[in-house]
Amino acid sequence: MQMGRDDAASLPWWGIVWRGMAMGAADVVPGVSGGTMALVLGIYARFILALRNIDIELLESALAVVTSGFGVEARRSLLAKLKEKDTFFLMILGCGIVLSIASFAKVIPWLMEQYPAHMNGLFFGMILASVLVPLRLMSERGPKQLASFVIATAGAYWFTSLPVFEMSHALPFLFLSGTVAICAMLLPGVSGSFLLLVLGQYKYILSSLRDLNIPVVLVFCAGCGVGLLGFSRFLSWLFRTYPATTMAALAGLMVGSLQKIWPYKLTTEALVVDGKVLSAGRNVLPFDPAYTADALMPALLLLGGAALAYGLERLGHTKDKPAASVSAG
């Protein structure tokens, strides 16, 4: 299945870093997915494949370096494995994601709080334009793909309509939250941040990262690691077995999630957590008599977001080589 561009080998390190930063910035926003950015920027296939390539063989090579007292042969063997499995790509991409989250963990939520309609308009336009990416990558279009699209759209709509729950911050539940949230982050259109918000862990995890609450961070990261390794293999199997149907589902997830970030909302029904507006109420049309806020600027930003998504896609594919299959290797 030709599901994306294999551009990691031709990209300089800074090209991978800024793509990671784009993914990290998207993951900070409840309702927006880093997986969407990976798909738009042409690295989704490589990202999933590199995650899937992390296996026992690689871990054994790393352990051999330690047990050999960092011997030359063991180090050479490990480096060969890291290159073969494209782990360096993941490391560089991960640096970009972490750098972005550290940089924007306060800025983007503040912008979302101060200018909810404007920011939602921008992200709505970006995701709407990004839907074309998986649709273009579909090798066939038929009843199965249509059904997959409709079911995924309905599922994403239901998911993004869930209320916020008050949940325990016990370590086992934090581990489970990390496992589930990271799976959501891998899927375009499904926001891991919003899932953490629904589970009542969003603010707690951000504050733990900011305050360096080591036990919480380690348990949450362990859950994320388990989710990454397991779900990437499941995604790889889906793309290998049902390529076009899976792409249709990804497009549906993106469409269904749009209702969460529709810019025109009645603020009389706002969702407020810890005094911060996280979802500014019920969706309405911009010309609804009850909607009295500025309607023009969100619309302009919506168009700007669509143009930005298109530009990022073109930029992400500028130096691409022939497409890679997620089932390769």
Percent of the chain with pLDDT over 70: 86
Reduced 3-state DSSP string for the chain: CEEEEECCCCCCHHHHHHHHHHHHHHHHCCCCCHHHHHHHCCCHHHHHHHHHCCCHHHHHHHHHHHHCCCCHHHHHHHHHHHHHCCHHHHHHHHHHHHHHHHHHCCHHHHHHHHCHHHHHHHHHHHHHHHCHHHHHHCCCCCHHHHHHHHHHHHHHHHHHCCCCCCCCCCHHHHHHHHHHHHHHHHCCCCCHHHHHHHCCCHHHHHHHHHHCCHHHHHHHHHHHHHHHHHHHHHHHHHHHHCHHHHHHHHHHHHHHHHHHHCCCEEHHHCEEECCEEEECCEECCCCCCCCCCCCHHHHHHHHHHHHHHHHHHHHHCCCCEEEEECCCC
Alpha-carbon gap, residue 279 to 176, rounded angstroms? 25
Alpha-carbon gap, residue 189 to 131, rounded angstroms? 9
Q: Provide the pLDDT confidence category of residue 114 given band limits of 50, 70 and 90.
A: confident
Q: And the tokens for 39?
A: 């798909």
- Residue 289: per-residue pLDDT: 83
Q: Which residues of 182-191 are buried (b: 16+ CB within 10 A; e: fewer)?
A: bbbbbbbbbb
Query: pTM, whole model, 2 decimals?
Result: 0.72
Q: Where are the domains of the chain?
A: 2-325
Identity of the highest mean pLDDT range in 102-111, 121-130, 146-155: 146-155
pLDDT, mean of residues 263-274 = 63
Q: Which residues of 197-224 are buried (b: 16+ CB within 10 A; e: fewer)?
A: bbbbbbebbbebbeeeeeebbebbeebb
- Residue 1: per-residue pLDDT: 41
One-letter amino acid identity for 41? L
Q: What is the pLDDT of residues 158-180, one digit of tens each?
A: 877 777 666 778 888 889 888 98
pLDDT, mean of residues 136-140 = 85
Selected residue with higher pLDDT from 154 and 274: 154
Alpha-carbon gap, residue 124 to 266, rounded angstroms? 17
Burial zone of 120 (CB within 10 Å; 0-12 exposed, 13-18 middle, 19+ buried): buried
Residues in the chain: 329
Q: Provide the pLDDT confidence category of residue 143 given band limits of 50, 70 and 90.
A: very high
Alpha-carbon gap, residue 98 to 20, rounded angstroms? 8
Q: And the tokens for 3?
A: 């599901």
- Residue 170: per-residue pLDDT: 87
Alpha-carbon gap, residue 154 to 158, rounded angstroms? 6
Handedness of CA 290, 293, 294, 296 (dihedral sign): negative
pLDDT greater than 80 at residue 77: yes
- Residue 31: per-residue pLDDT: 64
pLDDT greater than 90 at residue 7: no
Cβ atoms of residues 194 and 206 within 8 Å: no
Query: How many other β-carbons are positioned within 10 Å of the β-carbon of residue 6?
Result: 20
Alpha-carbon gap, residue 105 to 110, rounded angstroms? 9
Choice among 49-53, 124-128, 167-171, 229-233 with the minimum mean pLDDT: 167-171
pLDDT greater than 70 at residue 20: yes
Alpha-carbon gap, residue 123 to 181, rounded angstroms? 20
Mean of per-residue pLDDT scores for the chain:
80
Cβ atoms of residues 128 and 258 within 8 Å: yes
